[in-house]
Structure 1
Amino acid sequence: MSELLLLSNSTNHGAPTLAHAPLAEFYEGREVRFVPYALADQAGYAEAIGAAFARAGLRLRSVHTEPDPASALHTAEAVWVGGGNTFRLLRALQRLDGLAAIREAVAGGARYGGASAGSNLACPTIRTTNDMPIVEPAGFAALGLVGFQVNPHYLDPVPGSAHMGETREERIREFLEENAVPVVGLREGGWLRVSGRAVTLHGSARVFRRGAEPQECRTGPLSP
């Protein structure tokens, strides 16, 4: 049974990195393998996230320091995938054969957690990321650990705004014109706890399904 923790964001305003995340409870003392490929400065990223995990009493090792990152992921008992640029993250894992390694680790009982791009990566594809495609991956297929899409950092329209660009809701509706996969618009500070087929929302989200009006959801069971 897959155990996942999918966050909208790593840092809330005025709070330390990942202070809002239930890391200690979710990982339960496991050593966590960190996937830092969404940022260019992988060493600096690993240091910052390592400090956040240390505050939760957890040990974290970044796979970018391993001679064989895919093997390190394949044998991991827990994985954390950091946020950043989702296209860069996916391309790096494709080149390292890391996607299959993570899937197999999770199938074997490893716990998977991520924020922002790391949450996008858990979905069937990365098509609902907010990021600019700064690199070109070999396709958009992701891990497929859940059967729905996540749109992290979901933003509601600002009442009275004169901005004429597309709202986040309009972009997700466009996605649903071409794809029948539900989308969870996960607001800042929120996360999804997935245990097998059961999904629990902590915080607030707007759930989009093709042919239906968006549904407002708050902390509790979720059925995307």
Structure 2
Amino acid sequence: MVRLLLISNSTNAGEAYLEHPKEEIAKFLGDIKKVLFIPWAAVTFSYDEYEQKVQTRFSEFGVEVDSIHHHRNAKLAVQEAEAIVVGGGNTFKLLKTIQQTDIIEAVRNKVLSGTPYIGWSAGSNVACPTICTTNDMPITEPDSFSAFSLVRFQINPHYLDANPDGHAGETREERIMEFLEMDPNVYVVGLREGTMLKLEDVEFNLIGPKPARIFKKGQAPREVYPGDDLDFLFE
């Protein structure tokens, strides 16, 4: 049984860090009291600082955060993890470090065997087949764009409908349409801020106050709402 909680963003405007998803995270973890945290998307602050930032929030529901950067054997840490949590930041740096430590298959096998996985922003991107629908700048170069492939679709976190006055560049929707020209057989979920996807007990749900926007080559973009059937994303 695969268990995933894929969150668009860590922080809503005007809220504290991990405020909006904290109740869902606590409920999702249940009786688990220790998680393995992957902080490698951090760029402008240290892994220790990132671990502490997440620990401050997770302490509210009695969960210890153990960052993988403390472990000399990353694969063993993954194999022994009760749950895996992947934080946001720069997706290219995150994936490059994941590849350098050679834990792609270890994480994939662990999660597909039932270990809970939580990711936000970049952490949701790497749950997909590739990171090609991230919003981040390629500040470093991974070996490939291939990620954990825990789901069959792509996620675009922080999805925005906005087309600001005076902006003549591509909208987010147009960027996704470009991606689909190159990879026409995959769905892309535009996951708006404050929302998340949860797969648990063979039930797949959108959670949050906003709909998600679904893209597929040859189909008009459409909105799906909490409670709608999302099983088509696994086709």
The TM-score bracket by the shorter chain reads over 0.9
Note the C-alpha offset of 1:194: 1.4
Note the C-alpha offset of 1:93: 0.6
1:24-39 matches, within 5 Å, as 24-30=26-32, 31-39=34-42
2:123 aligns with 118
- How far apart, CA to CA, are the structure 1 residues paired with 2:76 and 2:104? 11
Q: How many residues align?
A: 223
2:166 aligns with 162
What code does the residue aligned with 2:8 have? S
Q: Does the CA contact (< 8 Å) of 1:29 and 1:58 recur in 2? A: no
1:95-174 matches, within 5 Å, as 95-158=100-163, 161-174=165-178
| SS of match in other structure, 2:226 | strand
- How far apart, CA to CA, are the structure 1 residues paired with 2:9 and 2:162? 19
Deviations 1:142-162 (A, max 9, x none): 111001000000000236x22
Say whether 1:217 aligns with 2:224.
Answer: yes
Following TM superposition, the consecutive aligned residue runs of length 4 or more in structure 1 with deviations greater than 4 angstroms are: none
- How far apart, CA to CA, are the structure 2 residues paired with 1:71 and 1:23? 24
Note the C-alpha offset of 1:198: 3.7
What code does the residue aligned with 1:4 have? L
1:5 aligns with 5
2:50 aligns with 45
Note the C-alpha offset of 1:70: 2.0
Note the C-alpha offset of 1:10: 0.5
Q: Does the CA contact (< 8 Å) of 1:4 and 1:111 recur in 2? A: yes
Note the C-alpha offset of 1:196: 6.4
Q: Does the CA contact (< 8 Å) of 1:73 and 1:105 recur in 2? A: yes
Note the C-alpha offset of 1:101: 1.5
Unaligned runs of 5+ in 1: none
| TM-score (ref. length: structure 1) | 0.95
Q: Percent identity?
A: 48
Q: Which of 192, 202, 219 is the aligned partner of 2:197?
A: 192
- How far apart, CA to CA, are the structure 2 residues paired with 1:94 and 1:147? 20
- How far apart, CA to CA, are the structure 1 residues paired with 2:57 and 2:127? 21
- How far apart, CA to CA, are the structure 2 residues paired with 1:198 and 1:23? 16
Deviations 1:179-209 (A, max 9, x none): 1210000000000001365421113210001
- How far apart, CA to CA, are the structure 1 residues paired with 2:156 and 2:68? 26
> Higher mean Cα deviation, 102-111 or 80-89?
102-111
- How far apart, CA to CA, are the structure 2 residues paired with 1:88 and 1:207? 27
- How far apart, CA to CA, are the structure 2 residues paired with 1:55 and 1:11? 17
CA RMSD of aligned residues (A): 1.3
Q: Does the CA contact (< 8 Å) of 1:77 and 1:109 recur in 2? A: no
- How far apart, CA to CA, are the structure 1 residues paired with 2:61 and 2:215? 34
- How far apart, CA to CA, are the structure 1 residues paired with 2:18 and 2:227? 21
What code does the residue aligned with 2:72 have? P
What code does the residue aligned with 1:33 have? L
Q: Does the CA contact (< 8 Å) of 1:34 and 1:82 recur in 2? A: yes
- How far apart, CA to CA, are the structure 1 residues paired with 2:9 and 2:103? 23
Note the C-alpha offset of 1:67: 1.6
Q: Does the CA contact (< 8 Å) of 2:163 and 2:171 recur in 1? A: no
| SS of match in other structure, 1:200 | strand
